[in-house]
Amino acid sequence: MPETETLIGYAARDAKTGEQVKLTMQRLWLTGRVLAAGARLMVEHVFEPAGRKPVEVVYAFALPRDAALRRFTIRGTGFTAHSELRPLEQATKMYEEGIAQGSLSTLARQYGDGIINLNVGNIRPGETVTVRLEILAGVETRDDGFRFRFPFTLAPGYHAKAKMLETEPGTGEIELPEEEFEDMMLPKFRQDPSNLHAVGFGLRFLAAGGFREIGSPSHAIRMIAGDDGGPAQVLPARGRDVPNRDLVLDARRKVVAPEAIGGRGRDGKLHFVGIIPSSSFGEAAAAGRKVVFLLDRSGSMQGPPIEQARLAVSACLGALSPEDRFNIVAFDNKLESFRPEPVPATAAHREAAREFLRFVDARGGTELAMAVKAAAESAGSGDVMVMTDGQVMGTEQILSVARAAGIRLHCLGIGSASQDRFLTLLARETGGVSRFVTARERVDLTAVDLFASIGRPVATDVSVSGALIQPDPPPVVFRSTPFLFYGECTDPCEVRIRWRGQDLGVPVNNEGPLTGETMRLLRGSRLITEMECRNPADARIQEFSETYGLASRRMALVAVVEREGDIAGEVPKTEVVPVGMPEDTAFGGYFQPRMARAMFHRAVAPAPTAAGFLKHSLSMSEPAMYDLAPKSVVPGRRRDDPIDILLELAASIESDGGMPGGSAEERVLRTLLCLLAFLEQGHSTKSGAFRMHVERLVAFLESGVASRLHEARQGMMNRAIAHARRGESVPGEWSKKAREKASGWKDLDPALSR
């Protein structure tokens, strides 16, 4: 299937009556090239409004992380036109004048929070218009691959001054204060997405050496593998889908090695993006740590997300030693702290923290700026790990507060609709890292994995030389997250990465002009994104927009098509394209007649709990990171679920790294059973979400506590430790045995005596 394939013959039908529904926007089809460093995308929108008068269509969508619009082409019967990049005032004037003249006019304008309004005005009755919009976007890089996310819908966002109303049955609208958000229009939110425009995709994935696998936690997909390391095509398994969740694709690469992907751009220079796996920097130095868990308890976290977040924090505490210090701050529109300041991770404090977590439930609105300030004051010089769905508006103000706080934030985003752009910036602008999980993935397992990655930096004071590097790369590298930087040089070159008295040379690959130009545009998009989040009024934003040919808050894309028969002065009817309510968010929690505005004012208490803001998530189990089962029934926790068992075991680890027991020998036995349970599910000292816990278990066994054991039992213990170091499992149902505490040395003997 070629990447330009579109959905043909789609007809939406009312879910209740079965009658065909005439849509203003017929379909959205995503194509393009996805690389390890970012993506160059083309989004096709097909408009065909009903009625007898001209229509102005407004489609609102969120930009992905580090994204910018480049250009668009608009086509209809008898015409094709290309966009012009103009300063915002000029572009807006051209659009308005075109509308007044009766001409087909198109404007793509960016607002705050990375929201785009695509306006297409004066579409005639019966006319079909197609807009193909090019977008540059970043990806969530990981040592072994990357996660690509593209927004097919929007989530309603919290703002203290927002008005949220159900304007007609099953349709909600949001009104934002004009003094802060100007004339930005958000989509209508439909409770039932089944009769909305169709969405689909056909993407080409490219990487040196090819991919081990490509999967999706959001959509059923099929993949056509490329020959000899060529691009793999990723397509939907079904012909169409509905706009009620983002597209998320995970790619795991076959070859993991330092590289600088580049090529000649249109300016003749060699443009590249460097990706250096964190494993290239060695192991993190042992040191005590101080961490504050900042837990979003707003109403939109109701259900499995808040339950799993509580379990995750409890399990993370099991990875701390008494030399470490921690605190927990739960927030909605109020703050509640476990302790006034971080306390040592002793057994007593950890048990008290678990009791505190028992009473943390979802409620209220998402006052993230207030929470960040409080966590920063508590953490001091430590780190803050944020777990939130990030469903907020006015993010520039939150970013400003976070930068001023001078604290490092690591973000775990939760949900089916994208706040990826904002949470990526929140982490990167403060020196941290970010991850994002969908509603169909486990929050707790990903949270434990992120916590293990941010434990201690593997490298500090990192710098790059040998080429022009811009923007400034991060000076700190964390485990599992590669060191990424953008650069250019005039001739083939080698860049050198230096840290802690060590260095690494990486030659810049020349993969051709298409890759080179893509790298140049990705760099420009990243530069513009960072400048806008720091100061939207910065005059350099326009300069960079013009240099790279990319839209921004100060530069917009516009096209006006004069057609025969245009009638000046006829005002078109405005129609806003609706999107589906995110699949993990209850419509009634946001859009309730007369109640909606009160729900979002801080002065109103108590905030609604189970009556509103319901969020659901499917369970998953190893080795798959997602489960595409239907979501009509959200499964509860199962006693025999291996991940839930590991979470319980992780939370039970004592301060010295061993499992509890009545004697030293019993503690060694329980620790060995627990160690084998983690190995059984693929977690070792080097890999897996529970790698910090495994390391603590091994350190306890090596501490001399087993010195009085019988020689045969010491031999079994040493073999178990060797398995943990090599990442090898030992046959046996160890998860159940470790949980039930009914197994003895006789169970270990046949498995570990060989």
The parent domain of residue 237 ranges over 17-145+195-252+552-580
**Structure-token pair, residue 164:** 């949220």
Tens digits of per-residue pLDDT, 92-130?
A: 999 999 999 999 999 999 999 999 999 999 999 989 999
Q: For residue 10, give the amino acid letter.
A: Y
Distance CA 388, CA 401 (A): 17
**Structure-token pair, residue 351:** 């048990």
- Are residues 262 and 312 part of one domain? no
Tens digits of per-residue pLDDT, 667-725?
A: 999 999 999 999 999 999 988 999 999 999 999 999 988 788 888 888 888 999 999 99
CB 354 within 8 A of CB 261: no
**DSSP strand pairing (211-215 vs 198-205):** unpaired
Q: Phi-psi category of 642—alpha, beta or left, where left has phi over 0 and alpha has psi -120 to 50?
A: alpha
Tens digits of per-residue pLDDT, 232-245?
A: 899 998 777 899 99
Q: What is the pLDDT of residue 196?
A: 92
User: pLDDT category, 21, cuts 50, 70, 90?
Assistant: very low
Q: For residue 507, give the amino acid letter.
A: P
Q: What is the pLDDT of residue 309?
A: 87
Question: Taking the mean position of all CA atoms in its chain, how far away is CA 707?
Answer: 47
**Structure-token pair, residue 223:** 């993949």
579 three-class SS: strand
CB 560 within 8 A of CB 94: yes
Indicate the range of 217-226, 486-495, 636-645, 718-727 predicted with least confidence.
Answer: 636-645
Distance CA 48, CA 638 (A): 48
- Are residues 244 and 95 part of one domain? yes
645 three-class SS: helix
> Would 537 be classed as within a structural domain?
no
Distance CA 315, CA 328 (A): 13
User: pLDDT category, 621, cuts 50, 70, 90?
Assistant: very low
**Structure-token pair, residue 208:** 């040196």
Cα 471 to Cα 236, 318, 531, 682: the distances in Å are 36, 38, 10, 38
Tens digits of per-residue pLDDT, 248-291?
A: 999 998 888 999 999 999 999 999 999 999 999 988 776 778 99
Higher pLDDT, 440 or 610: 440
**CATH at residue 223:** 2.60.40
Q: What is the pLDDT of residue 596?
A: 39
Tens digits of per-residue pLDDT, 334-344?
A: 999 999 999 99
Tens digits of per-residue pLDDT, 443-455?
A: 888 999 999 998 7
> Would 524 be classed as within a structural domain?
yes
**Which of 726, 325, 691 is closest to 480 using CA atoms?**
691
- Are residues 728 and 704 part of one domain? yes
Q: For residue 371, give the amino acid letter.
A: A
CB 296 within 8 A of CB 388: yes
Q: What is the pLDDT of residue 639?
A: 58
> Would 85 be classed as within a structural domain?
yes
At 525, phi and psi to the nearest 5? -65, -40
* CA triple 216-217-221, angle to 5 deg: 35
Q: What is the pLDDT of residue 583?
A: 87
- Are residues 236 and 344 part of one domain? no
Q: What is the pLDDT of residue 228?
A: 64
CA atoms in the 13 A half-sphere facing the CB of 561: 24
Q: For residue 406, give the amino acid letter.
A: G
Handedness of CA 6, 11, 13, 18 (dihedral sign): negative
For 69-118, the three-class secondary structure string (H helix, E strand, C coil) is EEEEEEEECCEEEECEEEEHHHHHHHHHHHHHHCCEEEEEEECHHHEEEE
- Are residues 44 and 119 part of one domain? yes
CB 55 within 8 A of CB 87: no
> Would 460 be classed as within a structural domain?
no
**Structure-token pair, residue 74:** 């608009």
Highest averaged pLDDT of the listed ranges 18-27, 480-489, 658-667, 734-743 = 480-489
Q: What is the pLDDT of residue 679?
A: 94
User: pLDDT category, 4, cuts 50, 70, 90?
Assistant: very low
Q: What is the pLDDT of residue 416?
A: 87
Rounded CA Rg of the chain: 27
Distance CA 158, CA 365 (A): 6
> Would 187 be classed as within a structural domain?
no
Distance CA 619, CA 715 (A): 38
**Which of 271, 683, 749 is closest to 517 using CA atoms?**
271
CB 291 within 8 A of CB 344: no
704 three-class SS: coil
Residue in this structure with the two tokens 């393009």, named with its chain if needed: 32
Query: How confident is the model over 460-485, as a mean pLDDT?
Result: 95
Query: How confident is the model over 635-654, as a mean pLDDT?
Result: 80
Element of type H or E holding 357: helix 347-358
Q: What is the pLDDT of residue 225?
A: 81
CB 122 within 8 A of CB 572: yes
- Are residues 310 and 238 part of one domain? no
Q: For residue 688, give the amino acid letter.
A: G
**Structure-token pair, residue 553:** 């808050």
Q: What is the pLDDT of residue 632?
A: 30
Distance CA 478, CA 461 (A): 12
> Would 151 be classed as within a structural domain?
no
> Would 321 be classed as within a structural domain?
yes
The secondary structure of 734-753 as a DSSP string is: HHHHHHHT---HHHHHHHH-
**Structure-token pair, residue 537:** 């009024």
Indicate the range of 299-303, 432-436, 533-537, 581-585 predicted with least confidence.
Answer: 299-303
Highest averaged pLDDT of the listed ranges 107-111, 328-332, 639-643 = 107-111
- Are residues 241 and 212 part of one domain? yes
The percent of residues in the chain predicted with pLDDT above 70, rounded, is 90
Tens digits of per-residue pLDDT, 518-533?
A: 999 999 999 999 999 9
- Are residues 354 and 219 part of one domain? no
Q: What is the pLDDT of residue 638?
A: 54
CA atoms in the 13 A half-sphere facing the CB of 503: 11
Domains held by the chain: number: 4
DSSP tag of 622: S
**CATH at residue 309:** 3.40.50.410
Distance CA 46, CA 29 (A): 9
> Would 541 be classed as within a structural domain?
no
Cα 520 to Cα 32, 263, 486, 487, 517: the distances in Å are 16, 9, 9, 9, 5
Distance CA 430, CA 496 (A): 25
* CA triple 153-155-158, angle to 5 deg: 155
- Are residues 68 and 124 part of one domain? yes
The percent of residues in the chain predicted with pLDDT above 90, rounded, is 59
Tens digits of per-residue pLDDT, 358-406?
A: 999 988 888 899 999 999 888 888 899 999 887 889 999 999 999 999 8
Distance CA 438, CA 218 (A): 7
Q: What is the pLDDT of residue 543?
A: 95
Q: What is the pLDDT of residue 708?
A: 80
**Structure-token pair, residue 265:** 């751009």
Distance CA 706, CA 472 (A): 50
CA atoms in the 13 A half-sphere facing the CB of 292: 29
Cβ neighbours, 10 Å, residue 432: 24
**Structure-token pair, residue 338:** 């476990």
399, 425, 453 — which closes off a domain? 453
pLDDT averaged over every residue in the chain = 86
**Which of 392, 390, 426 is closest to 162 using CA atoms?**
392
**Structure-token pair, residue 705:** 């506590």
* CA triple 324-329-334, angle to 5 deg: 170
- Are residues 37 and 113 part of one domain? yes
- Are residues 315 and 224 part of one domain? no
Cβ neighbours, 10 Å, residue 354: 16
- Are residues 714 and 647 part of one domain? yes
Cβ neighbours, 10 Å, residue 731: 9
Distance CA 573, CA 121 (A): 9
Distance CA 165, CA 592 (A): 6
398, 419, 453 — which closes off a domain? 453
Indicate the range of 1-10, 72-81, 632-641 predicted with least confidence.
Answer: 1-10
Tens digits of per-residue pLDDT, 194-230?
A: 889 999 999 999 987 788 899 999 999 998 887 666 7
